[in-house]
Homo-oligomer: A and B are copies of this chain.
């Protein structure tokens, strides 16, 4: 998986691949320091992510493993919201309460 940050939404009315009703979000990839890598993707959201959330992105055929994306044209799916990233006992990221 990759780390990403949700930065926007995509509206698309004419679409194929059983994507109707699915939320498509613009996500920028982050590196391990949560710095923007200047790469972006349009991802199906399965965890009700919001703008600014740090998320886990799953690509390739594994993007279709969730109930919501099964048999859809999903090639990159938001499969988790990141609460924290740590190295040993040191936290490099912690989601604020109420976020």
CB-CB under 8 A for A12 and B83, given A26-B32, A77-B73: yes
Partner of A19, one of B38, B48, B79, B84: B79
Distance in angstroms between the alpha carbons of A81 and B17 in the assembled complex: 12
Nearest to A63 among chain B residues (CB) is: B62
Query: A47-83: contact bitstring with B at CB < 8 Å (1 yes, 0 no)?
Result: 1100100001011111111111001111111011111
Measured as residues with beta carbon below 8 angstroms from the partner, the interface class of chain A is: 35 or more
Distance in angstroms between the alpha carbons of A87 and B52 in the assembled complex: 10
Chain B residues with Cβ below 8 Å from A92 are: 8
Partner of A63, one of B31, B38, B75: B75
Taking beta carbons and an 8 Å cutoff, which residues of A are in contact with B? 1-3, 7-19, 24, 26, 28, 31-32, 38-44, 46-48, 51, 56, 58-68, 71-77, 79-88, 92
